[in-house]
Structure 1
Amino acid sequence: MVEGSSDVWIEAVTCGPGHGISIGSLGDTPEQVAVRNITVKGAALAGTTNGLRIKTWAKANSGAVSGVAFSGVVMSGVRNPIIVDQNYCPGNVSCPTEGSGIKISNVSYTDVEGTSATAVAVRFECSPSQPCEEITMRDVRLRYRPPEGEEEQPAESLCRNAQGVAFGENDPPSCLTE
């Protein structure tokens, strides 16, 4: 989904291989962006680069992403199952260094389960100038599946400038601050 997307309902979709389900990239230009009321329900992702992703450029931009709900999602071998990246810069060439001015809030992840192809299964890299707020994790169960021949292991979560709450059974444990 791109700038201006609102009132979008996605249900019973299967993705993979590919990039997964993404909101963004947002904020490459200084115009205000808004993405609101996005629902993803009952999705299956297999072998994708990302699972449920929100990405914004680290530029002096403005706008908001709010009212996003992901629920009933099953993943298998996804490289970045849950990711918010507010430092997006493809190719890491001439990357901007300002914090993203896009405010991300009221995003929920409910009944998300499966396996990650990387140790960090939940990653919230939010802007220092516009921290992510009102993030809710409820019954998110992701395990790290290493390369063939090795046993599944606990996954990890990483949070920077991310505030929210966790309910139910969450594995990896939530790193959100209240």
Structure 2
Amino acid sequence: MSSLTISTSSTFIIFFFLCLITNGLAADFHVKRYGAKANGNSDDSQAIMRAWKDACMSRKASKVVISGGRYVVNSMKFKGPCMAPIHIQMEGRLEAPLNIQHMKSDDNWIIFEYINALTISGKGIFDGRGSLAWKQNQCASSGKCDSLPISLRFYRLNNTIIRGITSTDSKFFHMNLHNCRNMTLQNIIINAPGVSPNTDGIHIGGSSGVTISNARIETGDDCVSIGDGSQQITIEKVTCGPGHGISIGSLGKYKNEKPVSGVIVRNCTIKNTMFGVRIKTWPDSTQGIATNMHFDSIVMNNVGTPILIDQQYCPYGKCRFKIPSRVAISDVRFRNIVGTSTTRVAVKLVCSRGYPCKNVKLSNINLRYIGTNGTAISECSNVKPTISGRVMPPPCTRAFAI
């Protein structure tokens, strides 16, 4: 027993000193040493890219340092794979071109892709300067929504930490996570005016093991949206609003969409939003699955329709409603949700008549309508929720067929 203790302690000591040595050898790459001016006028894109390429080629852990100042940057692609773990210490303010016609890429402003063990931290700001682009947004009128650049796109990243940064006034989505594994976003701030169209805070698609915690998101669309192929997603201690709430979907618009499963939204505050927590799928959709989704311990303050399943989602009014959604929703729990609703229908569960929702549970719900023309009600179609604890408004006050 004694020799085992000595051996374990010795191993820990050796590991500790190896960490000290490794950290001591970590290389710093300061973008200002590569010619970045940080004066709010010069284009610093190339200087930052040179620092990144050298850091990415380093065989020891490296850090790209973006110190204080205003960096005007065009579209940039931080591409791996890199030789070792890499850290971006972000303290300055990166500013996008005001006019999208001056950007080198119409799809994204800044891309991080094919990187393992990336950390982005600091008090820095990614400023998308989106006010001019919002006026050019034709998403609602034409349905064409892919012509404006996303501020931050994360593609095929593994073991990533994003901590402390701010994204402001994106032209389109603030952050788009696609095909990422084991990604943590902590203490981030996302903000844009409530009137800014399609400025989703964080969109997740085709990713697994994603955790968002202690975030503050103010935007003109979903604070967090979860697309197909997303699994084991945790959203906790997020303050959302203004915006459209926290959403799973929309699902079923495209062919071969992969299942969504294992989503947890808990200990969040949603305020002054169009919706609270919702699951949305298109009518006449492709086949899909959304299962094992839990919404727990959420405070709603001045929220329109705090709890919503909408399998007739059609934001642009050009849908074939006679054909039901083919996305099968199951194993959904709404628990410990309290607060105020700006609409009488505080709980609305509109499921597909072709694929009725299965195993939907409501537990300890207390939502109060703050208008003057009655009290809160609930509406249901093609679902028979299981009830436990006190549920207000009473479940399925009105049932209707679709």
TM over 0.5: yes
- Residues 139-164 of structure 1: CA deviation (Å, up to 9, x unaligned): 01100011xxx59x531000000122
* Structure 1 residue 31 displacement after superposition: 1.9
TM-score normalised by the chain length of structure 2: 0.42
Task: Answer yes or no: is 1:169 the counterpart of 2:394.
Answer: no
5+ residue gaps, structure 1: none
Task: Answer yes or no: is 1:59 the counterpart of 2:280.
Answer: no
Whichever residue aligns with residue 87 of structure 1, its letter is Q
More helix by share: 2
Aligned residue for 2:332? 107
Whichever residue aligns with residue 168 of structure 1, its letter is G
* Structure 1 residue 27 displacement after superposition: 0.6
Residues 27, 33 of structure 1: 8 Å contact kept: no
Aligned residue for 1:136? 361
- Structure 1: which 4+ aligned runs deviate by more than 3 Å? none
Alignment length (residue pairs): 172
Pick from 304, 314, 319: which aligns with 1:95? 319
Aligned residue for 1:79? 304
* Structure 1 residue 77 displacement after superposition: 0.8
CA distance in 2, matches of 1:45, 1:55: 18
| Identical residues among aligned pairs (%) | 39
Q: Which has the higher contact order (CA 8 A, sep 6+)?
A: 1
CA distance in 1, matches of 2:287, 2:333: 22
Task: Answer yes or no: is 1:20 the counterpart of 2:245.
Answer: yes
* Structure 1 residue 33 displacement after superposition: 3.2
- Residues 15-67 of structure 1: CA deviation (Å, up to 9, x unaligned): 00001000000111132331100001101000111100100000141111110
Residues 71, 110 of structure 1: 8 Å contact kept: yes
3-state DSSP class of the match of 2:316? Answer: helix
Aligned residue for 1:37? 262
5+ residue gaps, structure 2: 1-225
Whichever residue aligns with residue 173 of structure 1, its letter is P
Task: Answer yes or no: is 1:157 the counterpart of 2:382.
Answer: no
Question: What RMSD over aligned residues (CA atoms) do the two structures have, in Å?
Answer: 1.6
Structure number with bigger Rg: 2
* Structure 1 residue 174 displacement after superposition: 1.1
More strand by share: 1
Whichever residue aligns with residue 393 of structure 2, its letter is P
Residues 253, 285 of structure 2: 8 Å contact kept: no
Alignment of 1:112-131 (within 5 A): 112-131=337-356
Residues 121, 157 of structure 1: 8 Å contact kept: yes
